[in-house]
Amino acid sequence: MNLENISIRGQLLYDEPMSRHTSLKVGGAADLYAEPEDADDLLTLVRSLKECQSPWLAIGRGYNLLVRDGGIRGAVISLARFNRISEAGERLIRAEAGVENLALVRFAQERGLGGIGYISGIPGTVGGAVKMNAGAYGSGVLERLESLTLLSGDMVAEYRREELDYGYRRLALPVGAIVLAALFRLVECDPHQTEEEIRKDTELRRSKHNVGFPSAGSFFKNPSGQAAWRLIDQANLRGVTVGGAQVSEVHSNFLINRGGATAADFLGLAEKVKEAVFAATGVQLEEEVRIVGEEP
């Protein structure tokens, strides 16, 4: 079997530019871009890819992803159609990987539950939030996780939080594992309080993060006890460009696409930032954005 013979109920696109599927609007083509309909469809796809001996990469909505200009060999699996949310018991909410972060907060709010309002303003989906242990103001979403449903190999398995290896902005998963759904244990919370959390978070992010151009959000992780944007400012890098990529003048931990940028521009700018910050402060920055794909 080859990639052209694969059949699923969802959508299959061949030689699909990844610039159409990432918030940075850069990236070469994937040999195959697949959107399975549900878990059974995903299993069919993964088994077919194994038969083809094709590599694959699972993504959400591409908010925290930089794809190199050479694109991706094999398949990209999008979980965009995994967007179901349900109640799963007392104070328990189950959200599939493709659910938008704000949609999860709203679903909980309608049921008088909260405790994760800080992810409402983070662009992206539950799958990405879990994999990055996304959070704000010192909290991470995995603190509210009860269990995680993964596709590992061609088996679906559930892992309790205490079985997982995670920390600040990271979650270690088995190689090739795909997050299918997360079960959260939330706390009782007045919907008006949640609404206030959403409002404050939205206003804060609008004032600080409205950079006006395509970006991937915070490009670098905050070193322990420090803010990456402040370190970048100390190195006098605000507004610096490489090709069409620029250190935002609004928020210096946002690298933006001013128009016509390539992945190589972003990679070159990121390296320039890291070198300058290290020279100025002695701190080694680490990318928060996931970098995948091949050089052209």
Residue 85 phi/psi, 5-degree rounding, is -125, 145
For residue 94, indicate whether it is catalytic. no
171 vs 36: CA distance, rounded Å: 24
For residue 169, indicate whether it is catalytic. yes
60 vs 125: CA distance, rounded Å: 6
124 close to 220: Cβ distance less than 8 angstroms:
no
- Whole-number Cα distances in Å, 206 to 16, 122, 173, 202, 215: 32, 11, 33, 6, 14
SS3 65: strand
Q: How many CB atoms lie within 10 A of CB 69?
A: 20
H helices of the chain, where? 39-52, 101-110, 126-131, 191-209, 228-234, 263-281
- Looking up tokens 């190199």 gives 68
Catalytic-role residue among 111, 169, 205, 238: 169
Q: CA 172, 177, 183: angle at the middle one, nearest 5?
A: 75
Catalytic-role residue among 120, 147, 218, 252: 218
Structure tokens at 20: 């159409």
Active site residues: 169, 218, 288
